[in-house]
Amino acid sequence: MPADTAPLLADRTGVGYAGGVLCVGGVPVTEAVAATGTPAYVYALDAVEAAYRRTVAAFAPLGAEVLYAVKANGNLAVLRHLAAAGAGFTVAGGGELTRVLAAGRGRGTVVLAGRGTTTDELALAVAHGVVVHVQSADELAALQAVAASRGVRARFAVRVNPAVASSAPVALRTGEADAPFGMPPPVAVALLARAAAGGYPDLDAVGVHVHVGSQLAVPAPYAAGARVALDVLRAGRALGLPLRALDAGGGFPVDEGGGPATGPEAFAAALEPVVAGAGVRLAVEPGRSLVAGAGALVTRVRYRLHRPGRPAVVADTGMHHLLRPALYGARHRVVPVAEAPGGEPTTVVGPCCEPGDVLADGVPLPPLAPGDLLAVLDAGAYGMTMASNYNGHPRPAEVVVTGGVATVARRRETWSDELAWET
């Protein structure tokens, strides 16, 4: 069966049809967006929590902590819900850390894994006891300077580039030898040696971090990356450092067609022989797999377009709100909110003045007319966090559903909001 036509199962916690209408968390989409209109992202928080708990259970035999990668979806309601469920967090910078703090943080570990961290970001992390995962000798020196100038101790881990070939889509690979992420193992060991020799007097080395990429189809590269990280950790221990933290990163996949994807259990099983008996405190950092399937981007057909070939409609959302198809060819299912079996291959474009503003091409849809509601599925990850104001369009509203109740979590931006930042 072509991926685009895989049936949606009715699911009261996630996204699926019930009674002929698409529901998110058991609430009809028509109801969920009644207060906001479209476009709106709608997230089923109970489905996010279920995915989190499944991941926790999968890694429980390994004693691993689950740190949610905030860059996938930073909505405060999502963060609050995950914090309440016990999740820790991985943040990419000060903005995301501010969100985690605003969401109440929870009891879990918080780590900062940026690439070009600023002094302000490092200072905020240090002030809140956040572990900094450094990617270069320069960044480690900057962290030492921040800790010294504030008279506090700071904790860090080294992020290694494991140089493993990953099964991730090219645009999502971060662990190949030439990927500009992390440092080669010998550099990491050299920095740990310098730390062991007192070269960073205000810092405590706590562990090693690796992240091989996103959308990993199979767990083998994940385990291979963790093995490289563990080798570096052992080398650091041999230098006398009490390293305990092994952070194996994220990357658990979501199937674009809505079918089953390799689950956290398979990743845990692949990691088990690597970390068995190593005496490490393991962390894993899923982003996408916790939130993607729990979210839909609800949009309204504005107009039918005239062109030869398959029918084409312009929706009230596009690449400015969901960049993934335009950025790296990601495919999203687009379905009618009013259930309609079958349909004709249809092109759905956005309102931006860009030929690349195509949400989906050839998705089976019933005959559409202005005002019809559509939903872009698996939009809970890397959707709103990548949204922009391109073409001067305000960013969408966000609605969260939990316990069968929909709540507006973020109002739609307005045209005047867009002027607020300019002096």
Ligand X SMILES: *Cc1c(COP(=O)(O)O)cnc(C)c1O
| Minimum gap (Å) between residue 132 Cβ and ligand X | 12
Scanning 75-83, 261-269, 283-291, 369-377 for contacts with ligand X by CB under 6 A, the matching segment is: 283-291
Are 192 and 241 contacting, i.e. CB atoms less than 8 angstroms apart?
A: yes
Tell me the residue number closest to ligand X, measured at CB.
Answer: 287
Q: Which of 287, 318, 336, 396 binds ligand X (CB under 6 A)?
A: 287
Scanning 10-18, 65-73, 357-365, 402-410 for contacts with ligand X by CB under 6 A, the matching segment is: 65-73
Neighbouring CB atoms inside 10 A of 270's CB total 18
Give yes or no: 353 in active site.
yes
Q: Which of 211, 320, 324, 333 binds ligand X (CB under 6 A)?
A: 211
Are 376 and 296 contacting, i.e. CB atoms less than 8 angstroms apart?
A: yes
Q: For the stretch 129-143, what's the b/e string if a residue is b when 16 or more beta carbons lie within 10 angstroms of its beta carbon?
A: ebbbbbbbeebbebb
Neighbouring CB atoms inside 10 A of 366's CB total 15
Strands 295-305 and 312-315: antiparallel
Q: Which of 36, 38, 90, 144 binds ligand X (CB under 6 A)?
A: 90
| Minimum gap (Å) between residue 290 Cβ and ligand X | 8
Beta strands, E only, 119-197: 131-134, 154-159
CA 107 to chain centre: 20
The CA-based angle 41-83-384, given to 5 degrees, is 20
Query: Per rule CB under 6 A, is residue 324 in the interface with ligand X?
Result: no
Query: Per rule CB under 6 A, is residue 288 in the interface with ligand X?
Result: yes
Query: Per rule CB under 6 A, is residue 69 in the interface with ligand X?
Result: yes
Q: Which of 39, 162, 175, 249 binds ligand X (CB under 6 A)?
A: 249
Scanning 5-13, 199-207, 250-258, 315-323 for contacts with ligand X by CB under 6 A, the matching segment is: 250-258
Whether the bond into 39 is cis, omega within 30 of 0:
yes
Interatomic CA distance for residues 253 and 261, integer angstroms? 6
Scanning 122-130, 280-288, 364-372, 414-422 for contacts with ligand X by CB under 6 A, the matching segment is: 280-288
Identified catalytic residue from 353, 371, 403, 422 = 353
Query: Per rule CB under 6 A, is residue 55 in the interface with ligand X?
Result: no
Please give the structure tokens belonging to residue 58.
């999968």
Which residues are annotated as catalytic? 353
Residues in touch with ligand X (CB under 6 A):
69, 71-72, 90, 113, 211, 214, 249-252, 285-289
